[in-house]
Amino acid sequence: MNRPDKANQGSQRFRSIKLCIFFSGLSVFAQLYLFQPLLPMAADHFQVSVGDTSLLVSSSTIGMALGLLFFAFKADSYSRKSLMVFSLVSSALLTIISTWIPSLSLLVGIGVMKGFVVSGVSAVALAYLTEEVSALAVPAAISMYLSGNTIGGMSGRILATLMAGEFGWRNAILIIGIESLLLGIIFWKMFPESRFFNPQKTDYHQKIKQMKFFLTNPYMLRLYFIAALLMGSFVSVYNYLTFRLESPPFSLSHFIIAFIFLMYIFGVFGTMIVGRLAKRFSKNNILKISILLMLAGALFLLSENTYILIFGLGLFTLAFFAAHTMASQMTALYARRGKSSATSIYWLFYYFGSSILGSGTGYLLHAYSWNVFIAVLCIAVIMGLLLATAQTPAKEMTKA
């Protein structure tokens, strides 16, 4: 019997894969950060501090980190499609249930659960694409997935802000939950089953050996901490910028603030630009320059002029995505073997940085001021720059 061919560009199978993988990214990231623009409303509703409401965002990213750690060991034990369908449908149901939860602590608990289940998509999506799509078509498929991630994160925030302003923040959650459930059902019906993967038992001894190597390797540890510091700073800005823009001297409406999240488009540009530059220049130099630009963008956020602040946000966003693209590439390239272990630890630090720094800076902002908040973020970014400066050129990894 002839072995089936991998999906080629132009084929119906490839079109179905590309569309569904886009929908999966759209659903995951719309849900993961939907509370971000709703934090001021939630703070008023529950009568709690900025830092307390930030747990609504951090809980999902903590759940995501824990889920990615779990699936680093268990993802290959399940059917790729079944795992992704379960993740998309169950997370959407949890989002819908969130609409009627009366207590902040219960909402935070559901956030952890939602982040955990939705991590099943991130854990296997790229593996599925490299297994099922022909080598020439893989970049187009991955680009579609990453576009879904970015557009999902951006559209979820914009839709949540607009819907909350019109119908209230709980109804905004319900609308995004229903939208995500519909995307999950479409994915279930249209996404092709794996042809080149069968569930298999995990070699736990090998996985632990690989992870131990990466966690004791100075080069990799620096990349992991860079990911944590930069992602924590990035999420902090987007968590609390709504509070800043609602207050004097800006006093912007919900409708205007919603479109501030269009700055995410600059993230797509950042990824594209460094993708081209990496072919000509040192990845570590690109990483250092990107972090420097991120620092410059953060300093512009101190301005009380709306246009200067928006320019700073655009620069900050572009530079973050550029730095994140480089750091994640450097992680994957260094690990010639055990790539899944190396990248799962990267995402673990990435999301824990988002959770810990993302909530911690909220308490800081509540206790002090926006200027102190930005100063602390600048210190975190400078620490990331120092770690990047200390990097030595990567050598091929042969031990793990």
pLDDT (0 to 100) of residue 393: 54
112 and 208 part of one domain: no
Omega within 30 of 0 (cis) for the link into 393: no
pLDDT (0 to 100) of residue 400: 44
Total domain count, the chain: 2
Residue 3 lies in a domain: no
Residue 339 lies in a domain: yes
345 and 357 part of one domain: yes
The CATH number assigned to the domain holding 223 equals 1.20.1250.20
pLDDT (0 to 100) of residue 1: 45
Rg over alpha carbons for the chain, rounded to the nearest Å, is 21
Read off the DSSP letter of residue 192: P
Residue 6 lies in a domain: no
Out of 202, 227, 258, pick the residue that ends a domain.
Answer: 202
256 and 392 part of one domain: yes
pLDDT (0 to 100) of residue 72: 81
Tokens of 140: 């187009």
Q: What is the pTM of this model?
A: 0.84
370 and 341 part of one domain: yes
191 and 310 part of one domain: no
pLDDT (0 to 100) of residue 3: 58
Report CA dihedral (309, 258, 53, 119) to the nearest 10 degrees. Answer: -110
Distance CA 203, CA 180 (A): 34
Q: What is the pLDDT of residues 181-220, one digit of tens each?
A: 999 999 999 999 988 888 877 778 888 888 889 999 999 9
Residue 362 lies in a domain: yes
User: Which regions of the chain are under pLDDT 50?
Assistant: 1, 395-400
187 and 314 part of one domain: no
pLDDT (0 to 100) of residue 296: 98
Out of 144, 175, 202, pick the residue that ends a domain.
Answer: 202
251 and 133 part of one domain: no
Distance CA 310, CA 322 (A): 18
186 and 208 part of one domain: no
pLDDT (0 to 100) of residue 399: 43
Out of 202, 233, 261, pick the residue that ends a domain.
Answer: 202
Whole-number Cα distances in Å, 230 to 49, 213, 245, 329, 377 = 24, 23, 22, 15, 9
> Which domain covers residue 93, as residue numbers?
11-202
Residue 133 lies in a domain: yes
In one letter, which amino acid is 378? Answer: C
Using the structure block, give the residue that is written with the tokens 């990567």. Answer: 394
Residue 2 lies in a domain: no
pLDDT (0 to 100) of residue 98: 95
Distance CA 13, CA 220 (A): 37
381 and 391 part of one domain: yes
Q: Convert 96-128 into a string of H (helix), E (strand) and C (coil).
A: HHHCCCCCHHHHHHHHHHHHHHHHHHHHHHHHH
Residue 267 lies in a domain: yes
| Measured distance between the N- and C-terminal CA atoms of the chain, rounded to whole angstroms | 37
